């Protein structure tokens, strides 16, 4: 198994910081302990800061400078969320390292040489300010790359024992067309929820009634929506319900989020790009779709915040079904892997020193230079498409990034 893909997914940029804060952390301080092995603060800080460098361009565009201190989920800021994720990842990586002999997983001498070469290149490519800001040392970079390679190998070895077969029933995806009208409120361009007035809600109800009336007159759902001043979008949904799947009560919110993202792709009443993802639908919509035959359209569906009208287009969408088959297979493999990992972690003694973790701060942000932005975007896209179960790629790509201080 080659290490190249794991390396390239992490070390794809040459970074620079225009204003260094001088707030270096103690790299050798212990931030967590797994049984008798210490996890160093320098490694966790490197994990967080390298992740930050990869997200800065996008997050600053949508959330503004200093985004890492903004609350995004519950009462947690972006940085707090990253810290939590980094500690959990460190726990996972060190657990897998402790059990690699269970699956005869090793890092070969050739792979260690590749990792060392990549770490040396990263250190040479970046300024002292960047190195200090990220608490990077050649040893830290090597350690993280080796841990990620072990994870890739362990995952592949573990899931070999998983029953990941997928039946046609489990894979099936049905196609539909939908009109969705929120009558309580909507998110504005600043992602703030604006509650509708009674008058606005009444206007939305009139739109919904107009669609229903046009359908009764023989119009298609697309034409009825257009005539009422709204749009019909298409999507697919999984018809199989896993009896062991966890149920959530925010399906309507997920549906709202998906719709707002997808419907903005096109102003047409119906496009292939306007789709919902698997089962991000209110349960009442799913129930209505399941009761329809192909070509049939539902009555007006009313939830506590939204009106829906749906048409079942195909009971089985072949392309979506085959894509979902791969997704379901991957989900089964993930579930098996997570079960093995959780079993190991239940038997471990894991502790986190929160005071040390709190010392990780972000003061600077990194941005990709205009000259290299296209190359960086391409590299990021390729990295996203590469799964960790595949194990080779290029280590030579580097992109230039400038940094400025918030």
Domain residues of the chain, as ranges?
A: 4-163+326-405, 173-315
> Which residue, 317, 304, 332, is CA-closest to 275?
317
For residue 249, the Cα-to-chain-centroid distance in whole angstroms is 20
Bridge partners of residue 37, in order along the sequence: 34
Backbone angles phi, psi at 301, to 5 degrees: -105, 130
**Two tokens, residue 278:** 């698997």
What does the alpha-carbon distance between residue 11 and residue 140 come to, in Å, rounded to a whole number? 13
- Parallel, antiparallel, or unpaired: how do β-strands 399-405 and 13-14 relate? parallel
User: What distance in Å separates the CA atoms of residue 76 and residue 170, rounded to the nearest whole number?
Assistant: 36
Cα(238)–Cα(172) distance, rounded to whole angstroms? 6
Task: Render each residue's pLDDT in the chain as its tens digit; 406 residues.
Answer: 466 776 665 555 566 554 545 567 899 999 999 999 999 999 999 999 888 877 776 777 777 777 888 887 778 898 999 999 999 999 999 999 999 999 999 999 999 999 999 999 989 888 888 888 889 999 999 999 999 999 999 999 999 999 999 999 999 999 999 999 999 999 888 778 999 999 999 999 999 999 999 999 999 999 999 999 999 999 999 999 877 765 544 444 444 433 333 333 333 333 333 334 456 899 999 999 999 999 999 999 999 999 999 999 999 999 999 999 999 999 999 999 999 999 999 999 999 999 999 999 987 776 544 444 444 444 444 444 444 443 433 333 333 333 333 3
CATH class of the domain at 173-315: alpha beta
Specify the pTM: 0.76
Within 10 angstroms of residue 353's Cβ, the number of other Cβ atoms is 16
pLDDT tens, 103-149?
999 999 999 999 999 999 989 888 888 888 889 999 999 999 999 99
* Contacts (Cβ under 8 Å, ≥6 apart) of 309: 178, 179, 208, 211, 212, 215, 221, 297, 298, 299, 300, 301
């Amino acid at each position: 198994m080659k290490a190249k893909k794991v390396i390239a997914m992490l070390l794809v940029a040459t970074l620079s910081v225009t204003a260094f804060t001088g707030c270096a952390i103690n790299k050798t301080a212990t931030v967590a302990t797994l049984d008798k092995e210490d996890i160093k603060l320098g490694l966790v800080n490197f994990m967080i800061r390298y992740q930050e460098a990869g997200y800065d361009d996008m997050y600053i565009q949508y959330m503004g400078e200093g985004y890492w201190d903004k609350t995004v989920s519950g009462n947690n800021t972006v940085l707090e969320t990253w810290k939590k994720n980094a500690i959990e990842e460190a726990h996972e990586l060190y657990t897998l390292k402790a059990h690699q002999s269970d699956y005869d997983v090793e890092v070969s001498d050739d792979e260690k040489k590749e990792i060392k070469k990549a770490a040396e290149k990263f250190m040479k490519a970046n300024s002292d300010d960047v190195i200090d800001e990220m608490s990077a040392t050649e040893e830290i970079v090597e350690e993280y790359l080796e841990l990620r390679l072990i994870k890739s190998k362990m995952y592949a070895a573990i899931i070999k024992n998983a029953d990941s077969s997928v039946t046609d029933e489990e894979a099936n995806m049905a196609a539909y067309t939908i009109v969705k009208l929120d009558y309580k409120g909507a998110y504005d361009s600043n992602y703030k929820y604006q509650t509708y007035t009674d008058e606005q809600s009444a206007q939305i109800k009139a739109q919904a009634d107009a669609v229903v009336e046009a359908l009764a007159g023989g119009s298609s759902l697309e034409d009825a929506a257009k005539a009422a001043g709204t749009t019909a979008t298409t999507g697919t949904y999984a018809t199989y319900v896993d009896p062991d799947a966890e149920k959530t009560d925010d399906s309507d919110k997920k549906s709202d989020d998906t719709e707002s993202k997808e419907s903005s792709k096109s102003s047409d009443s119906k496009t292939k790009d306007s789709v919902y993802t698997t089962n991000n639908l209110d349960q009442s919509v799913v129930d209505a779709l399941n009761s329809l035959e192909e070509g049939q359209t539902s009555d007006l569906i009313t939830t506590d915040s939204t009106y829906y009208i749906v048409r079942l287009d195909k009971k089985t969408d072949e392309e979506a079904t085959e894509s979902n088959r791969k997704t379901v297979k991957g989900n089964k493999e993930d579930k098996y892997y997570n079960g093995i990992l959780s079993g190991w972690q239940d038997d471990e003694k894991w502790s986190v020193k929160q005071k040390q973790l709190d010392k990780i701060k972000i003061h600077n942000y990194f941005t990709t230079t205009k000259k290299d932005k296209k190359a960086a975007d391409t590299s990021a896209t390729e990295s996203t498409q590469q799964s960790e179960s595949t194990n080779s790629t290029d280590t030579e790509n580097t992109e230039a990034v400038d940094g400025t201080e918030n």
